[in-house]
A and B are shown apart, each in its own frame.
Chain A
Amino acid sequence: MSRFFATGSDSESEESSSADEITPKAPGTTFKQSLLLSDDEEDTKRVVRSAKDKRFEELTNLIKTIRNAMKIRDMAKCLEEFEQLCRAFLKSKNIVDKEGVPPFYIRLLADLEDYLNQLWEDKEGKKKMNKNNAKALSTLRQKIRKYNRDYETEIAAYKENPQDSADEEEEKEPEESGSSSDSDEEAGEEGVSAKAFLKKKPEVTPDASKFLKSAKGSGDESSSSDDDVDDEDWGSDSVDSGSESSDDGEGKSASLAVVFLKKTQGPEKAEKKIAKKKKPKKKERLEEEAEEEGGEEVEGGWEKVKGGVPLVKEKPKMFAKGTEINTAVVVKKLNEILQARGKKGTDRAAQIELFHALAAIAAENNLGQGILVKIKFNIIASLYDYNPNLAAFMKADMWKKCLDCINELLDILFENNNIFIGENIAEDSENLGISDQPFRVRGCMLTLVERMDEEFTKIMQNTDPHSQEYVDNLKDEGRVCGIIDRLLSYLENKGSTEEICRIYLRRIMHTYYKFDYKAHRRSLGLQGESKSEQDQEESEGEDSAVIMDRLCKFIYAKDRTDRIRTCAILCHIYHHALHSRWYQARDLMLMSHLQDNIQHADPPVQILYNRTMVQLGICAFRQGMIKDAHNALLDIQSSGRAKELLGQGLLMRNMQERNAEQEKIEKRRQVPFHMHINLELLECVYLVSAMLLEIPYMAAHEFDARRRMISKQFHHQLRVGERQPLLGPPESMREHVVAASKAMKMGDWRTCHSFIINEKMNSKVWDLFPETLRVREMLVRKIQEESLRTYLFTYSSVYDSISMETLSDMFELEIPTVHSIISKMIINEELMASLDQPTQTVVMHRTEPTSLQNMALQLAEKLGSLVENNERVFDLKQGVYGGYFNRDQKGGYQQKQGYQRDQKGGYQQKQGGYQRGGYRNQNQSNY
């Protein structure tokens, strides 16, 4: 609207009015908006220039009320409104500065002054006025005099040219009438110039109908109003707007916009025509209305427009016909669109469309890549903006659009070496136009890509991992990786170190959890057959290990933020562990000292740390480092919250402990399903490690009173197994391990082996390892060794001597191995025996106390402590010997009292004692 004023299109009464019809109403309900958006460019226009519009709308509204007050000679109201008007005008100062003082404002000032003077002269009327009004009149008169001094020139100009003013007023009134339907009657009563009045009537109806859209007439009306303009301007328009489609319906619909735009450049012509035709036009319109009332086709046509070609229509609206489309204009337009961003009534989808259109225009007019890049940036940004809620995830198709956009943007960037992008380039120091200088565009590619990646994670988090949809979404991961790779190579040339570190980390994040099958096979020397490597095309020719190494080392050297480095180290360790490079992984973990300070890190990093530890433990297990595996997994497993600690799910029991907000935050931290570590595998590895450690230990320390358990969880499982009333064949993984443990306790390695490694366990656990066979072999070996140890611990008291050959047969181990195991046990003083080399036998020394002796020792110990306690009681008595007697003498009476109390409580005491006894008995049995 303001633009019309700015360009001085005073008399384009109809068009501006029809534009205004919408402007005030548009911000209303969304329903209306969506309805309008489909075909009414006015709305979008309003959207674009909402800041300006808002101000001016405010002013016009105020002016209207003032005029109304003038009519009824309500001076008090007039004064009040005038003051408000001044304030509003001040507020819109910067817009006014840009656009110049709006003529309607001047007009009001002039009119008001005249009016006041007139009233002032009218002594009679003044006398009739009540006190309030009279007072207001005088103040207002003084005020306006003072105020008008600032606008003397304008007012003078206005007074010189009252003709103009009349026109303006005409325009003004319909505007007002349109701007709010409730003011219609008022406006009517106002009884402005007859012309305006006449004009208004037809206007009002279309307004309402248009918005409601229910009445058939609405379509007719709007189209009719189009039509009558068409009558005048259609011919020229159609010529001008070459880009418009030739389709009749479209042309028609577009015509309205065209007319507008047309006006701006050639106002005089249209003005005259309209001025001349005002009256006839009205008549015409009525006729047409009548005609078209019956005709359905027009309605149909209108409908078509609505659903039809918004894009085509937008273009003319974007830029006035014939405007030279240059960079500055496009940038201005872009900013206009941007201003609507984040506003309440803004339709985000439409905005994205607008950007696209703008990009098309820019491309069409060869405005250079700079502007295109800028627009693309904005498109992506508005795509991200599409979801107002940060927690909600983008729709997959939106996200894909975004991917495309980023890809295109990267294309441009790669093709044109002379584009500089940076988030620190100020808005005004941008260089978007084609010139010798390189383009400079504000924006950060990295942020966009990072956001895109995060959105990807969010999408994955919010997709059911067992659906086809998830698989489909996951296929896009390759594209994400592709983009990251491209950006990486781009930034390697142009970006700062920090940016490189960030993009490296992204790359690492997408690499570390994937097992590099290609490298694995290569290491096994199985290069031959062709495998499906589509998912690793990006690392073609290079092992992921090499990539990880390169990227991580760069980060270690260059990164200055601690977080990126921490993440990189963890990912690096994870990757090492995943590929069974245990020593590298362990050394890196130890060197990083992360264990000491990880508790200060933020939760996502802690989750990553937990994941890494778990992976490290599993790696150790695969390598046969049972103890290391156990230690690495202990923390995670012993808490019983492995799921939560690994970010792979929320625990139900915590539901009441946290509120919805926390839950949302935690949900956002979850690791997408495809990165999960198999929890059953984890638990099985842990339990088996615990079994291999714990069972020999238990056997060795059977009678040790102060025996500590290595793994609480394992013991818990054992107890659960014991509590089963009926022991069937094991079903679950845990039952298998428990059954195996029991077999191992007896030194029966064969049964143990068959429980640990069988069909069920293979499918559940062991087949999940990349080197299944090797792991299983290792496992069998470990079981044999530990069973041998257990056997020796448990039954050494039975033997006087045992031949190593027998042992070797029993456990299917080679004699040297048996020899070494027994030697180790002897050296560690676990086994009281000696080796008799010539006969290859183990001779037991039988120095181990028998169980009865052990028991007696324990009893002696206990009795010792009992005596000690007893002595303490005695000491106490000795110490307060005097006091004791004193009490006896003095407190005779008190004692009696106490005695009574005791009697009263006797029954309860007895009961309590009874219960306690029972409780103790329970304890005993547990013991």
Chain B
Amino acid sequence: NISRKLTPVVLKIIKHYQEEGQGSEVVQGVLLGLVVDDRLEITNCFPFPQHTEDDADFDEVQYQMEMMRSLRHVNIDHLHVGWYQSTYYGSFVSRALLDSQFSYQHAIEESVVLIYDPIKTAQGSLSLKAYRLTPKLMEICKEKDFTPEGLKKANIGFEHMFEEVPIVIKNSHLINVLMWELEDKSTVADKHELLNLSSSNHLEKSLQLLMDRVDDMSQDIVKYNTYSRNLSKQQQQKHQYLQRRQQENAQRQSRGEPPLPEEDINKMFKPPQPPPRMDTLLIAGQINNYCQNVKEFTSQNLGKLFMAEALQGHN
């Protein structure tokens, strides 16, 4: 299942972010395209308008439908095949993303989410990733069972939540011409961004975000810890109670009395509410993501540093 993209889509996404997104703000939009053989071809996209709190009555679905109808009128691919979202230092693994991707994938089987990292892109390497939920996760989300047991049964870990779909970007000739033209126009300084050695800024940010997630993670673990402790305590109590009851019954039996009726043990020992584990999973996924990012970044930078050293040595 390879997704193939045409450059206009990429350029449109980048343009969208440049125009509307800033800092940690996220921009989103709809992907349009069609399935060809085993590939998903994304041929067009349009952004969701930024809307503020005060026009809450804005109907997004209505807008999408309108948009797609209009596109069909001008004979452009209008089939809904997913959505895209920008990200800030790779922090996209969240509940919101999971939920919306689930609903997309539930409704349109082939849909993907494209994650665009503007910061990395600004540093010189286009970062565009397509994700889909794994069938396992789809299963779980369908059943909405996020208890420890449910997740355990599904045998899902953070690494199996999303599957990345390889991307092939295809340019039309016209686009290639445009690109050449743009490259000609761009100033020289921009090209040397690639060789920028100062890395700490990016790393710091990543670390900070990573730390936050780690904090959340430990909080969740503490929560889970108390839960399991409570549970085991209760199990013990229940066990004791059952044993006592058994003994009593045995005694009564020996005396020829009828055994005591079985009471609803669940009523007596209400099991504590299990904490939802999905968040933890997501956080773990996010941490993993950050780590990947940092790793990638550092390896790139190390290379650059070595190169710089070699250059210096040469001089």
State the CA gap A876–B211 with chains docked (Å).
Answer: 26
Q: How far is the CB of A846 from chain B (nearest CB, A)?
A: 15
CB nearest neighbor in A for B220 = A869
Contact of A914 among B95, B225, B271 (CB under 8 A): B95
- B253: Cβ under 8 A from any A Cβ: no
CB nearest neighbor in B for A852 = B200
Q: How far is the CB of B60 from chain A (nearest CB, A)?
A: 18
Q: What 10 A-B pairs have minimum CB-CB distances, sorted nearest first?
A: A906-B144, A869-B221, A880-B232, A855-B207, A852-B200, A866-B218, A862-B214, A924-B212, A883-B235, A873-B225
State the CA gap A74–B256 with chains docked (Å).
Answer: 95
Whether the pair A850, B212 counts as a contact (CB closer than 8 A) is no
- B127: Cβ under 8 A from any A Cβ: no
On chain B, the residues within 8 Å of A916 by CB distance are 279
Whether the pair B224, A873 counts as a contact (CB closer than 8 A) is yes
- B278: Cβ under 8 A from any A Cβ: yes
Per-residue CB contact flags for chain B residues 251-291 toward chain A (1 = under 8 Å, else 0) read 00000000000000110000100101011000000000000
On chain B, the residues within 8 Å of A880 by CB distance are 232, 235-236
State the CA gap A920–B265 with chains docked (Å).
Answer: 37
- A414: Cβ under 8 A from any B Cβ: no
On chain A, the residues within 8 Å of B69 by CB distance are none
On chain B, the residues within 8 Å of A879 by CB distance are 232
Whether the pair B224, A855 counts as a contact (CB closer than 8 A) is no
- A870: Cβ under 8 A from any B Cβ: yes
State the CA gap A859–B211 with chains docked (Å).
Answer: 6
Whether the pair B145, A903 counts as a contact (CB closer than 8 A) is yes
- A139: Cβ under 8 A from any B Cβ: no
State the CA gap A913–B99 with chains docked (Å).
Answer: 12
CB nearest neighbor in B for A873 = B225
Could you say which of A151-159, A248-256, A890-898 contacts chain B?
A: A890-898
State the CA gap A923–B229 with chains docked (Å).
Answer: 27
State the CA gap A920–B215 with chains docked (Å).
Answer: 10
- B2: Cβ under 8 A from any A Cβ: no
Per-residue CB contact flags for chain A residues 757-772 toward chain B (1 = under 8 Å, else 0) read 0000000000000000
Within 8 A of A (CB), among B218-250: 218, 221-222, 224-225, 228-229, 232, 235-236, 239
- A584: Cβ under 8 A from any B Cβ: no
Q: A850-B200, A856-B207, A917-B279 are in contact. Are A883 and B232 (CB under 8 A)?
A: yes
How many residues belonging to A are interface residues under a CB distance threshold of 8 Å? 42
- B113: Cβ under 8 A from any A Cβ: no
A-B contact pairs, 13 of them (CB 8 A): A850-B200, A869-B222, A872-B225, A876-B229, A880-B235, A886-B235, A897-B266, A898-B147, A899-B145, A902-B145, A902-B146, A909-B276, A910-B99
State the CA gap A856–B203 with chains docked (Å).
Answer: 10
On chain B, the residues within 8 Å of A894 by CB distance are 265-266, 271
- B96: Cβ under 8 A from any A Cβ: yes
Q: A862-B218, A866-B221, A907-B144 are in contact. Are A902 and B95 (CB under 8 A)?
A: no
Whether the pair A913, B145 counts as a contact (CB closer than 8 A) is no
Per-residue CB contact flags for chain A residues 47-80 toward chain B (1 = under 8 Å, else 0) read 0000000000000000000000000000000000
Q: How far is the CB of B198 from chain A (nearest CB, A)?
A: 11
State the CA gap A907–B211 with chains docked (Å).
Answer: 30
On chain A, the residues within 8 Å of B149 by CB distance are 895, 899
10 further interface pairs, Cβ-Cβ under 8 Å (given A859-B210, A862-B214, A876-B229): A851-B204, A855-B204, A858-B211, A859-B214, A866-B217, A869-B218, A880-B236, A899-B150, A903-B145, A924-B212
- B184: Cβ under 8 A from any A Cβ: no
- B172: Cβ under 8 A from any A Cβ: no
State the CA gap A916–B219 with chains docked (Å).
Answer: 12
State the CA gap A903–B149 with chains docked (Å).
Answer: 13
On chain B, the residues within 8 Å of A563 by CB distance are none
Q: How far is the CB of A705 from chain B (nearest CB, A)?
A: 10
- A143: Cβ under 8 A from any B Cβ: no
Per-residue CB contact flags for chain A residues 847-881 toward chain B (1 = under 8 Å, else 0) read 00011100110110011011001101100110110
Contact of A855 among B144, B208, B218, B236 (CB under 8 A): B208
- A91: Cβ under 8 A from any B Cβ: no
Q: How far is the CB of B116 from chain A (nearest CB, A)?
A: 20
Whether the pair A852, B266 counts as a contact (CB closer than 8 A) is no
- B143: Cβ under 8 A from any A Cβ: yes
- A887: Cβ under 8 A from any B Cβ: yes
On chain B, the residues within 8 Å of A897 by CB distance are 266
State the CA gap A920–B212 with chains docked (Å).
Answer: 9
Q: How far is the CB of B292 from chain A (nearest CB, A)?
A: 16
- B216: Cβ under 8 A from any A Cβ: yes
Whether the pair A898, B271 counts as a contact (CB closer than 8 A) is yes
Whether the pair B215, A862 counts as a contact (CB closer than 8 A) is yes
State the CA gap A879–B94 with chains docked (Å).
Answer: 33
Cβ-Cβ contact count across A and B, 8 Å cutoff: 103
Whether the pair A903, B239 counts as a contact (CB closer than 8 A) is no
Q: How far is the CB of B235 from chain A (nearest CB, A)?
A: 5
Contact of A903 among B144, B200, B203 (CB under 8 A): B144
State the CA gap A872–B215 with chains docked (Å).
Answer: 16
State the CA gap A6–B96 with chains docked (Å).
Answer: 106
Q: How far is the CB of B203 from chain A (nearest CB, A)?
A: 6
Contact of A886 among B211, B228, B239 (CB under 8 A): B239
State the CA gap A879–B225 with chains docked (Å).
Answer: 13
On chain A, the residues within 8 Å of B147 by CB distance are 898-899, 902
Q: How far is the CB of A369 from chain B (nearest CB, A)?
A: 86
Q: How far is the CB of A330 from chain B (nearest CB, A)?
A: 88
CB nearest neighbor in B for A863 = B214
On chain A, the residues within 8 Å of B146 by CB distance are 902, 906, 909-910, 913
- Between B150, B203, B214, B236, the greatest number of chain A beta carbons within 10 A of the residue's beta carbon is seen for B214
Q: A851-B200, A886-B239 are in contact. Are A862 and B211 (CB under 8 A)?
A: yes
Q: How far is the CB of A322 from chain B (nearest CB, A)?
A: 99
Contact of A883 among B144, B236, B266, B279 (CB under 8 A): B236
State the CA gap A321–B218 with chains docked (Å).
Answer: 103
Per-residue CB contact flags for chain B residues 126-155 toward chain A (1 = under 8 Å, else 0) read 000000000000000001111101100000
On chain B, the residues within 8 Å of A903 by CB distance are 143-145
Contact of B274 among A884, A902, A914 (CB under 8 A): A902
On chain A, the residues within 8 Å of B224 by CB distance are 873
Per-residue CB contact flags for chain B residues 195-209 toward chain A (1 = under 8 Å, else 0) read 000001001100110
On chain A, the residues within 8 Å of B94 by CB distance are 917
State the CA gap A924–B228 with chains docked (Å).
Answer: 27
Whether the pair B212, A910 counts as a contact (CB closer than 8 A) is no
Q: How far is the CB of B287 from chain A (nearest CB, A)?
A: 10
Q: A869-B222, A917-B279 are in contact. Are A883 and B239 (CB under 8 A)?
A: yes
Whether the pair B145, A852 counts as a contact (CB closer than 8 A) is no
Q: How far is the CB of A873 from chain B (nearest CB, A)?
A: 5
On chain B, the residues within 8 Å of A898 by CB distance are 147, 271, 274
State the CA gap A898–B234 with chains docked (Å).
Answer: 15
Q: How far is the CB of A229 from chain B (nearest CB, A)?
A: 96
CB nearest neighbor in B for A705 = B211
Whether the pair A876, B218 counts as a contact (CB closer than 8 A) is no
Whether the pair B228, A910 counts as a contact (CB closer than 8 A) is no
State the CA gap A862–B213 with chains docked (Å).
Answer: 10
State the CA gap A851–B198 with chains docked (Å).
Answer: 13
Within 8 A of B (CB), among A195-239: none
Whether the pair A852, B204 counts as a contact (CB closer than 8 A) is yes
State the CA gap A879–B214 with chains docked (Å).
Answer: 26
Q: How far is the CB of B261 from chain A (nearest CB, A)?
A: 17
Q: How far is the CB of A886 from chain B (nearest CB, A)?
A: 7
On chain A, the residues within 8 Å of B204 by CB distance are 851-852, 855
Whether the pair A855, B211 counts as a contact (CB closer than 8 A) is yes
On chain A, the residues within 8 Å of B212 by CB distance are 924, 927
On chain B, the residues within 8 Å of A895 by CB distance are 149
On chain B, the residues within 8 Å of A927 by CB distance are 212
State the CA gap A912–B278 with chains docked (Å).
Answer: 12
Q: How far is the CB of B113 from chain A (nearest CB, A)?
A: 18
Q: How far is the CB of B45 from chain A (nearest CB, A)?
A: 26
On chain B, the residues within 8 Å of A876 by CB distance are 225, 228-229, 232
